[in-house]
Amino acid sequence: MSTMSAVKPSAGPEPYVSHASLFETAKRYLTKTKSQELLLRSIILIFVYLLAFCIRLFSVLRYESVIHEFDPYFNYRSTINLVQDGFYEFWNWFDAESWHPLGRVVGGTVYPGLMFTAAILYKVSKFLTACIKLRDICVFTAPFFAGNTALIAYLFGKELKDMETGLVAAVLMAVVPGYISRSVAGSFDNEAVAIFALVTTFYLWVRAVNQGTIASAVLAAFAYLYMAASWGAYVFISNLIPLYVIIMFVSGRYSRRIYVAYTTFWAVGSLLAMQVRFIGFNHVTSNELLSFNGVFVGLQVWEALVFLRTKLGTKQFGQLLYLTAVAAGAVGAAGTAILVLSGKLNPWTGRFWTLLDPTYAKKFIPIVASVSEHQPTTWASYIFDLHVLVFAAPAGLYFCFKRPTDGTIFLTVFALTAIYFSGIMVRLMLVAAPAFVLLSAIAISSILQSASKELRAPAAAETKTSPVATRRGRGSTSNEENITTKKSTNLIILGLTFLAMWSYSSHSIWVTSEAYSSPSIVLISGWGPHRVVLDDFREAYYWLRHNTAPDAKVMSWWDYGYQITAMGNRTVIVDNNTWNNTHIATVGRAMASNETEAYKIMRQLDVDYALVIFGGLSGYSSDDINKFLWMVRIGGGVFPVIKESDYLANGDYTVSSRGTQTMLNSLMYKLSYYDFGNIMTEHGKGTGYDRVRNYEIGKKDIQLDHLYEAFTSEHWIVRIYRVKDLENRF
């Protein structure tokens, strides 16, 4: 107890006394509104972080901490390589275990940001003697960065409008299902860190534009480096920021701050992004970054013109302007023509062409069209992935138009492009999610602010206006009342917002739990005592690992390449990187040909084992027979010998007795249904009843001449066949 408690709290600022007790200090701070606000804000942000982390842990809690899907296995293998062999080995890594016999230059064809992040986290945790296993670090990288993204969303909202918007943005970002879908625990993929880098780059860019200093722009360039190192969608940033500059110019809001920010960002950002081996000089020669470089040149020209105008007179300046415009136009056109004709300017890659012309991939690049994530979006994906944000986003756009600032114009441009792209490809819903979150944060925060301001105001207004009202009579009291809406209306609005947020969070939790938490390497169905776990994939890959020669080569469809290399530790022919279309087409041709032709191709490729995924016994519907038409299309795209019409009976794709002979004799059919004709799968149906296609198969007694069955997993999901050696001549 100290004697200073005699000081009255209402008499100005309290004198600082160093020997006050803890209780006294706490009370003194907690009674100030500013401290209360700080405490509330900190508690909210801590809870937001914890929420963002914990909501992504469903699959870990339900099953185990395992890496999901296909691409993360390659990232995991690369991280192991980085941690074990060191930085230089990883940077110069040539992987001979995939794309046999071509190999893959991993160091130059991978975005290393994710691997470096995981390796740094691993080293840091080892240094702090926490010693977390590398696999667990990889599994939990995504939720960790999701929490960071929520905090950056807070900073971004604060920069765009005010602190309340930031808090709403953080809360919405923590649980938005569109982001959760690619960042659950176990989804060790580029997007896990790339979305964090994207939002950080945008936040730092808006901050740089608002401040107009070189230091802030350099910081934004470093965030751009992180984005360029992490994901191929860095071209989105490098096209969006020039587009923003152009729009600001056209709408008359160009200022010196934008010039400083963009020039510094271009210079430092380009140099940094070129350090990534995969990008290299593409950053200045590629068509995809033409606007990035072009706007830089344009800005310098503009500022030079403005500078010259202040130095010369009007007439001279007019002449100079005319000459320069003509010369620049001629040089620009000629230069572009020469570069395009000589092939120096690299063309747009197919993935990005699809964004401008959605029908491009369907017509020209079957591999890009076959990826399920590249399909266009339906209306239901919006409400499923965004729930109430889908209603609040147009309102947010209205608020941005109502009071445009530099930051909100940037947000509008970002949101419009992101929403358009999300309509074209389902995968890009992930990029649109932060845009929706920020727009909705602006809308919701504005609604809450205006409602609560009016709820707080009448208490003060009544005491002030009552003497006025009594002087002026009844007419003015009704005037005063009408300027603020009734208290009940504001309470209704607050209540509705609360209900909307409640339903948003319960929807997000349900969606995460049901739809986005499946570790697709393990198939789980049922609840409690009826839970069935199909662990066939890992069973088969570990069989491969333990029971085949170390230099055995495995041929499978490209979907499973990463998993086979990572878990089975064997060389594969094609994998998910899909960089060589002809190689994939060769494998597709082998799968689609009859056994003798396929055997020739397999001997050429030096294949020892063939692996197929078969769902007919278990009901697993993403099996190779369902993907077979894509194999035919891709194979037929390179080898005209394979014609899609040969495999369709009257335009129908079927493996029943109506199926064509080419289909029933193909290697894929034989490998999938070998020995299946003797199995009774369902009561009341004949043998060989396929539980995915829901009919009996066409040919039931299958003989294999050049392969023999080596392994079939417990539920027949993975089937591995050994390719026989050539026959003895004597």
Partner 1 sequence: MPRLSSLEELRPSPRLICVLVLVSYFFVTAGIAYDIINEPPAVGGQTDPVTGAVKPMTFMPYRLNGQFILEGLSGGFFYTLGGVGIILLDLSRDKNQSVLFRNVYLALGLAITILSYLVCMVFIRIKMPGYMR
Rounded distance between C-alpha atoms, residue 690 and residue 695, angstroms: 6
Count Cβ atoms below 10 Å from residue 554 Cβ, excluding itself: 23
Q: Tell me how long the chain is.
A: 730
Site for partner 1 in 211-270 (CB under 8 A): 251-252
Contact flag: residue 413 with partner 1 (CB under 8 A): no
Q: How many CB atoms lie within 10 A of CB 20?
A: 16
CB of 51 to partner 1, least distance (A): 20
Q: Identify the residue whose tokens are 């000459």.
A: 323
Q: Measured between alpha carbons, how far is 91 from 119 in angstroms, rounded to an integer?
A: 13
DSSP string for 110-128 = S-THHHHHHHHHHHHHHHT
Q: Does 446 bind partner 1 (CB under 8 A)?
A: yes
Is 362 a binding residue for partner 1 by CB under 8 A? The answer is yes
Tell me which of 50, 297, 327, 483 binds partner 1, using CB under 8 A.
Answer: 483
Residue among 30, 356, 492, 680 that touches partner 1 (CB under 8 A): 492
In the stretch 367-406, what mask flags binding to partner 1 with x, by CB under 8 A?
-----x--xxxxxxxxxx---x-xxxxxx-xxx-xx-x--
- CB closer to partner 1 out of 385 and 575: 385
Q: For partner 1, which is the closer residue by CB, 35 or 621? A: 621
- N-terminal to C-terminal alpha carbon distance within the chain: 105
Antiparallel, parallel or unpaired: β 718-723 and 707-712: antiparallel
The least CB distance from residue 391 to partner 1, in Å, is: 3
Stretch that binds partner 1, among 66-74, 331-339, 417-425, 624-632 (CB under 8 A): 417-425
The residue (of 511 and 574) whose beta carbon lies closer to partner 1 is: 511
- Rounded to a whole number of angstroms, the minimum distance from the CB of residue 53 to partner 1 is 24
- What value, to the nearest 5°, has the Cα angle with vertex 115 and ends 110 and 117? 135
Nearest to 157 by CA among 430, 434, 385: 434
Q: How far apart are CA 324 and CA 328, in angstroms?
A: 6
The helices-and-strands tally (H runs, E runs) of the chain is 33, 11
Instruction: Return the number of the residue (397 or 605) whose C-beta is nearest partner 1.
Output: 397
Q: How many residues bind partner 1 (CB under 8 A)?
A: 53
- The minimum distance between CB 310 and partner 1, in angstroms, equals 12
Residue 28 contacts residue 14 (beta carbons within 8 Å): yes
- Say if CB 64 and CB 177 are below 8 A apart: no
Q: Is residue 540 a contact partner of residue 711, using CB atoms and an 8 Å limit?
A: yes
Phi then psi dihedrals of residue 654, to 5 deg: -145, 145
Q: How far is the CB of 467 from partner 1 (least distance, A)?
A: 22
Q: Minimal distance in Å, beta carbon 173 to partner 1?
A: 20
Give the shortest CB-111-to-partner 1 separation in angstroms.
Answer: 27
What residues from 332 to 351 belong to the interface with partner 1 (CB under 8 A)?
none
Q: Which stretch binds partner 1 (CB under 8 A): 94-102, 269-277, 354-362, 698-706?
A: 354-362
User: Of the listed pieces 15-23, 220-228, 271-279, 414-422, which binds partner 1 according to CB under 8 A?
Assistant: 414-422
- Per CB under 8 A, which region of 129-137, 138-146, 263-271, 492-500 contacts partner 1? 492-500
Residue closer to partner 1 (CB basis): 92 or 506: 506
3-state DSSP call for residue 218?
helix
| Contact flag: residue 318 with partner 1 (CB under 8 A) | no
Question: What are the Cα distances from residue 495, in Å, to 173, 452, 498, 532?
Answer: 22, 11, 5, 43
307 binds partner 1 (CB under 8 A): no
Whole-number minimum distance, CB 150 to partner 1, in Å? 23
CB of 651 to partner 1, least distance (A): 16
Return the number of the residue (163 or 395) whose C-beta is nearest partner 1. Answer: 395
Q: How far is CA 513 from CA 146, 162, 516, in A?
A: 17, 33, 7
Half-sphere exposure of 644 (CA within 13 A, CB side): 15
Residues contributing to the site for partner 1 (CB under 8 A)? 251-252, 358-359, 362, 372, 375-384, 388, 390-395, 397-399, 401-402, 404, 412, 416, 419-420, 422-424, 426, 443, 446-447, 450, 482-483, 485, 489, 492-493, 496, 500, 506-507, 510, 514
